[in-house]
């Protein structure tokens, strides 16, 4: 179940999917993704949550990285995006789920990594989403928030978009760090420059 804001956003991304947007990575995006993959250090057997999976273009890459012994739960609120992700014929280690990341359909400590690529500004309640990620991550598990562009570039782009996403902005560095830390994470690194936006945090041990 989604809230009203997520329902409006789902309609927007349904339209994007019908128009064929976000289907594959272009050459520049692939170069930046390759750099992110080095940072993420995914290993065979890893259990990964991918919020906002869209058409599954990253999901396919993640499925290959974790192998048959791993698990990828890819989630999106857009039914059209989910249909296209499922149509990729991904392996059994992947579950593509329609729904809100505010309610991840997994138990505590279910994942080793949460990878948020180009999606963080679209969470309807960022604090709640981060707390949910902390719940499903094991102690010491990795949270990555990544974008292919800087915060300034992302926010400028969204300002010129459809009203459904016009106010979907990346907050200031201090605000993001506070949100992440309040949710139960320790920030390891936080970079914002030409290679893109990159925040890495780890789940603090539960008391």
Q: What is the predicted pLDDT for the residue at 1?
A: 47
Instruction: Mention every residue, 6+ apart, whose C-beta is less than 8 A from residue 44.
Output: 65, 66, 67, 69, 70
Mean pLDDT of successive 10-residue segments in the chain (207 residues)?
A: 79 90 92 97 98 97 97 97 96 96 96 97 94 98 96 86 80 96 98 93 93
Cα gap 109→107, rounded to integer Å: 6
Cα gap 93→177, rounded to integer Å: 32
């Amino acid at each position: 179940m989604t809230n009203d804001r997520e329902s409006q956003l789902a309609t927007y991304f349904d339209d994007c999917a019908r128009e064929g947007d976000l289907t594959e990575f272009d050459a520049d995006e692939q170069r930046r993704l390759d750099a992110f993959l080095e940072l993420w250090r995914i290993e065979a057997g890893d259990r990964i949550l991918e919020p906002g999976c869209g058409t599954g273009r990253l999901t396919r890459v993640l499925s290959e990285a974790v192998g048959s012994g791993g698990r990828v739960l890819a989630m999106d609120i857009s039914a059209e995006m989910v249909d296209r992700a499922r149509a990729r014929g991904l392996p059994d280690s992947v579950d593509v789920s329609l729904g809100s990341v505010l309610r991840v359909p997994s138990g505590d400590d279910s994942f080793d990594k949460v990878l948020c690529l180009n999606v963080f500004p679209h969470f309807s309640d960022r604090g709640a989403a981060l707390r949910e990620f902390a719940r499903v991550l094991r102690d010491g598990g990795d949270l990555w928030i990544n974008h292919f562009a800087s915060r300034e570039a992302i926010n400028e782009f969204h300002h010129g978009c459809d009203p459904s996403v016009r106010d979907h902005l990346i907050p200031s560095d201090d605000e993001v760090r506070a949100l992440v830390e309040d949710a139960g994470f320790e920030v390891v690194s936080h970079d914002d420059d030409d290679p893109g936006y990159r925040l890495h945090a780890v789940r603090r041990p539960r008391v």
